[in-house]
A and B are shown apart, each in its own frame.
Chain A
Amino acid sequence: MTAVLDAQGLGKRYRKQWALRDCTLQVPAGRVVGLVGPNGAGKTTLLHLAVGLLQPSAGSVGVLGARPAENPAQLGRVGFVAQETPLYATLSVADHLKLGEWLNPRWDARAAERRIDQLGLDRKQRAGKLSGGQRAQLALTLAIAKRPELLVLDEPVASLDPLARHEFLQHLMEAVADDGVSVVLSSHLVSDLERVCDYLIVLVGSRVQVAGDVDELLACHHRLIGPRRDAAHLPSDQQVIEASHTDRQSTLLVRSDGPILDPAWTVEQIGLEDLVIAYMRRAG
Chain B
Amino acid sequence: MMRLGWRQFRLQAAVAFGVLVVIAVVLAMTRPHLIYLYDVFAKAQTACASTGDCRDVTINLSQVDKLLELLGTALVAVPALVGAFWGAPLIAREFEAGTHRLAWTQSVTRTRWLASKLAIVGAGSVIATGLLSLMVTWWSSPIDRAHTNRFGSGMFGERNIAPLGYAAFGFALGVVAGLLIRRTLPAMATTLVGCLGIRIAFTYLVRPHLLSPVHKAVALDPDGTGFGSTNSGPPTLFPNPPSMPNAWIYSTHIVDNAGHGLPAQLVASTCPTLGTGLGGGPPPGSGHAVVRIQAPAGVQNALQECVAKIGASYHELLTYQPASRYWVFQWYETAIYVGAALALAGFCFWWIRGRAT
Q: Do A and B interact directly, with beta carbons closer than 8 Å?
A: yes
Interface size class of A (residues with CB under 8 A): 35 or more
With A54-B356, A55-B356, A91-B7 in contact, do A105 and B97 touch (Cβ < 8 Å)? Answer: no
Contact A99 B4 (CB under 8 A): yes
Q: Does A58 sit within 8 A of B, measured CB to CB?
A: no
Whole-angstrom CA separation of A48 from B105 in the bound complex? 10
Chain A CB within 10 A, most for which of B102, B109, B356: B102
Q: Does A33 sit within 8 A of B, measured CB to CB?
A: no
Contact A102 B1 (CB under 8 A): yes
With A80-B101, A82-B101, A82-B102 in contact, do A48 and B107 touch (Cβ < 8 Å)? Answer: no
Of chain A, the residue at the smallest CB distance from B102 is A86
Chain B CB within 10 A, most for which of A48, A80, A99, A100: A99
Contact B357 A75 (CB under 8 A): no
Chain A positions within 8 Å of B354 at CB level:
55
Contact B102 A76 (CB under 8 A): no
Chain A CB within 10 A, most for which of B3, B101, B103, B109: B101
With A48-B357, A55-B356, A95-B7 in contact, do A104 and B107 touch (Cβ < 8 Å)? Answer: yes
Q: Does A158 sit within 8 A of B, measured CB to CB?
A: no
Whole-angstrom CA separation of A249 from B250 in the bound complex? 98
With A53-B357, A54-B357, A99-B4 in contact, do A88 and B107 touch (Cβ < 8 Å)? Answer: no
With A72-B108, A102-B4, A103-B107 in contact, do A89 and B102 touch (Cβ < 8 Å)? Answer: no
Contact B3 A88 (CB under 8 A): no
> Known contacts A82-B102, A95-B7; can you find 11 more A-B pairs with CB under 8 A?
A51-B105, A55-B354, A76-B107, A86-B98, A86-B99, A86-B102, A87-B99, A88-B99, A98-B4, A103-B103, A103-B107
Of chain A, the residue at the smallest CB distance from B98 is A86
Contact B356 A103 (CB under 8 A): no
Contact A75 B109 (CB under 8 A): yes
Nearest 3 A/B pairs, CB to CB: A86-B98, A103-B106, A76-B107
For chain B residues 1-48, which have a beta carbon within 8 Å of chain A? 1, 3-4, 7-8
Whole-angstrom CA separation of A108 from B182 in the bound complex? 34
For chain A residues 61-107, which have a beta carbon within 8 Å of chain B? 69, 71-73, 75-76, 78-80, 82-84, 86-89, 91, 95, 98-100, 102-106
Q: Does B350 sit within 8 A of A, measured CB to CB?
A: no
**A165-204 Cβ-contact flags toward B at 8 Å (1 or 0):** 0000000000000000000000000000000000000000
For chain B residues 88-140, which have a beta carbon within 8 Å of chain A? 97-99, 101-109
Of chain A, the residue at the smallest CB distance from B105 is A80
Jot down 20 A-B pairs with beta carbons below 8 A, ordered by A: A48-B357, A51-B105, A53-B105, A54-B357, A69-B105, A72-B108, A72-B109, A75-B108, A80-B101, A88-B8, A88-B97, A88-B102, A98-B4, A100-B106, A102-B1, A102-B3, A102-B4, A103-B1, A103-B108, A146-B106
- A188 → B minimal CB distance (Å): 19
Chain B positions within 8 Å of A98 at CB level:
3-4, 7
Whole-angstrom CA separation of A52 from B108 in the bound complex? 12
Whole-angstrom CA separation of A48 from B101 in the bound complex? 9
Contact B101 A53 (CB under 8 A): yes
Chain A positions within 8 Å of B97 at CB level:
86, 88-89
- A76 → B minimal CB distance (Å): 4
Chain B CB within 10 A, most for which of A75, A103, A106: A103
How many A-B residue contacts, CB cutoff 8 Å?
A: 75
Whole-angstrom CA separation of A139 from B1 in the bound complex? 19
Contact A75 B356 (CB under 8 A): no
Whole-angstrom CA separation of A73 from B99 in the bound complex? 21
Contact B107 A146 (CB under 8 A): yes
Chain B positions within 8 Å of A51 at CB level:
105
Whole-angstrom CA separation of A98 from B1 in the bound complex? 11
Chain B positions within 8 Å of A95 at CB level:
7
Chain B positions within 8 Å of A53 at CB level:
101, 104-105, 356-357
- B256 → A minimal CB distance (Å): 67
Contact A84 B8 (CB under 8 A): no
Chain A positions within 8 Å of B4 at CB level:
98-99, 102-103
Contact A105 B357 (CB under 8 A): no
Whole-angstrom CA separation of A69 from B101 in the bound complex? 12
Chain A positions within 8 Å of B357 at CB level:
48, 53-54
Whole-angstrom CA separation of A69 from B102 in the bound complex? 13
Chain B positions within 8 Å of A89 at CB level:
97
Chain B positions within 8 Å of A104 at CB level:
106-107
Chain B positions within 8 Å of A100 at CB level:
106
Chain A positions within 8 Å of B101 at CB level:
53, 80, 82, 86
Contact A78 B105 (CB under 8 A): yes
B105 partner, pick from A75, A91, A99, beta carbons under 8 A: A75
Whole-angstrom CA separation of A102 from B3 in the bound complex? 8
- B24 → A minimal CB distance (Å): 28
- A258 → B minimal CB distance (Å): 44
With A82-B101, A86-B99 in contact, do A105 and B107 touch (Cβ < 8 Å)? Answer: yes
- B5 → A minimal CB distance (Å): 10
Of chain B, the residue at the smallest CB distance from A84 is B98
Whole-angstrom CA separation of A142 from B103 in the bound complex? 11
B109 partner, pick from A55, A71, A79, A105, beta carbons under 8 A: A71
Contact A69 B106 (CB under 8 A): no
Whole-angstrom CA separation of A142 from B101 in the bound complex? 13
Chain A positions within 8 Å of B107 at CB level:
72-73, 75-76, 103-106, 146
Chain B positions within 8 Å of A54 at CB level:
356-357
Of chain B, the residue at the smallest CB distance from A127 is B99
Whole-angstrom CA separation of A63 from B4 in the bound complex? 28
- A128 → B minimal CB distance (Å): 10
Whole-angstrom CA separation of A98 from B98 in the bound complex? 19
For chain A residues 188-246, which have a beta carbon within 8 Å of chain B? none
Of chain B, the residue at the smallest CB distance from A103 is B106
Whole-angstrom CA separation of A100 from B8 in the bound complex? 14
Chain A positions within 8 Å of B108 at CB level:
72, 75, 103
